[in-house]
Chains A and B, each alone.
Chain A
Amino acid sequence: MNILLVGGHQNALFLIKSLKSNHHEVAIVNSDRDLCQALADAYEVPAICGNGTNADILRQAHTEKMDVVIALDDQDAANLVISELAKNEFHVKLTYAVVNNPKNIELFQGLGIDKCVNTTRILSDLVEQQAIEKNIRKYIPMENGRIVVCEVLLTEKSVALNKKLWEIGFPSQSTISCIMREEEIIIPQGNTVLKAGDKVVVLASSQVMEKTISMLVGMK
């Protein structure tokens, strides 16, 4: 894929390295002349020195030929303008942007940025994953965390053992999608009985996830 990185310092450096090693064609736009020079020399990528929020500079970087544009500036407003120019002027299909203020994510997704990357959000997700580590093995937030998929491991102490699913009475916004019992994969029905050692995949809205999990394993 053709990928254009606009702005950024350390993160641009790291991204070029990893994208190059995956055989993507990378180009950069950066207002720091020394950084442009260093990156162009080290990775043999085309580098345009200039302000990425300017359409002329983006034109010089052949933005119209790019599959993905990634905005890495430390100002949210600049990243918004870069992404919008890429979308509206150069018809780039995919735009990713770093968003520094988590409050802006919702706004930006309505405004022409396809994927917002927010470090604070990632960190808080990580902490959340750690905090519920005990019996929950995997935790995947979707739709900005409104829907969550969890893999829960049932132990001897879990409260839901030897019960049929319909007896437990899960909240309405939750569903037990799948049970992995040793090598077997069970698509559960109302009369399926849970056993110790089962790995249960739960799909639920974030509001009722905690309640659903507590009904399975009995933690607070």
Chain B
Amino acid sequence: MKLFNREKRESVIIVGCGSLGSKLAAVLANQNDAVSIIDIDENSFAKLPATYHEFCIDGDATDTDILELAGIKTADTLIALTNDDNTNIMVAQIAKQYYKVNQVIAKIDDATKEASYAQTGITAICPLLLSLNEFERVFKTEKEGRSA
């Protein structure tokens, strides 16, 4: 009976199999999400751990054929993590506007661009700003530790 009660697996597409993309793919696959990872260079899939048994697709993720191969029509989440901001923005917008993917997250390195994509329904993550905040926090707690 339990077989039929199981909840639907969350399906996630990750674009860009760099250090961040490969780690995230492994984490999500461990959580039993259905993961497809796309990268333009098939050698980059070597970064994935041996325990990863989900989909790897080599191709250009700005091409809708490749996205459809990765199952974008039924995907719940798309995460764009390539090294190129413009590619991330373009893929994210295709996912949001064209395929109406529920949750779309894009890594945007250029902090000036982050703000302009806040209203479009795309969650922008800027590693620079995150690091800045973290440094600030660490400084603050160390200072407090010394003065106490």
Residues of A within 8 A of B (CB): 53-56, 75-78, 80-81, 84-85, 88-89, 101, 103-104, 107, 110-111
Question: A-B pairs with CB below 8 Å: how many?
Answer: 51
Chain B's nearest CB lies how many Å from the CB of A150?
31
Partner of B63, one of A53, A85, A101: A101
Determine if B113 and A55 form an interchain contact, defined as CB atoms under 8 angstroms apart.
Answer: yes
| Residues B76-94 near A (CB distance < 8 A) | 84-87, 89-90, 93-94
Query: Which B residues lie within 8 Å of A89 (CB)?
Result: 116
Q: Is A103's CB under 8 angstroms from B64's CB?
A: yes
Is B11 an interface residue, CB under 8 A from the partner?
A: no
Within 8 A of A (CB), among B6-62: 62
Q: DSSP class of B's interface residues: helix, strand, loop or mixed?
A: helix
Chain A to chain B: the 7 pairs with minimum beta-carbon distance, closest first: A77-B86, A77-B90, A55-B112, A81-B86, A78-B86, A77-B87, A80-B90
Would you give the shortest CB distance from A64 to chain B, in whole angstroms?
A: 14
A68 to B94, CA, bound (A): 24
Give the residues from 91 to 148 in chain B that come closer than 8 angstroms, CB to CB, to chain A: 93-94, 97-98, 110, 112-113, 116
- B98 CB contacts on chain A under 8 angstroms: 107, 110
Q: Is the CB of A107 within 8 A of B64?
A: yes
B112 CB to closest chain A CB (Å) equals 5
Q: Is the CB of A110 within 8 A of B110?
A: no
Within the complex, the shortest CB–CB distance from A88 to chain B, in Å, comes to 6
Q: Is the CB of B112 within 8 A of A56?
A: yes
Q: Do B97 and A111 touch across chains, with their CB atoms under 8 A apart?
A: yes
Contact A53 B64, beta carbon cutoff 8 Å: no
User: Do A85 and B90 touch (CB < 8 A)?
Assistant: no
Q: CA A180 – CA B130 in complex, angstroms?
A: 69
**Chain B residues with CB under 8 A of A53:** 85-86, 110, 113
The CA-CA distance from A78 to B84 in the complex, in Å, is 10
A104 touches B86 (CB 8 A): no
6 contacts between A and B (CB under 8 A): A53-B110, A55-B112, A75-B86, A81-B86, A85-B113, A110-B98
Minimum CB distance partner of B110 in chain A:
A54
A103 to B65, CA, bound (A): 10
Residues of B within 8 A of A107 (CB): 64, 93-94, 97-98
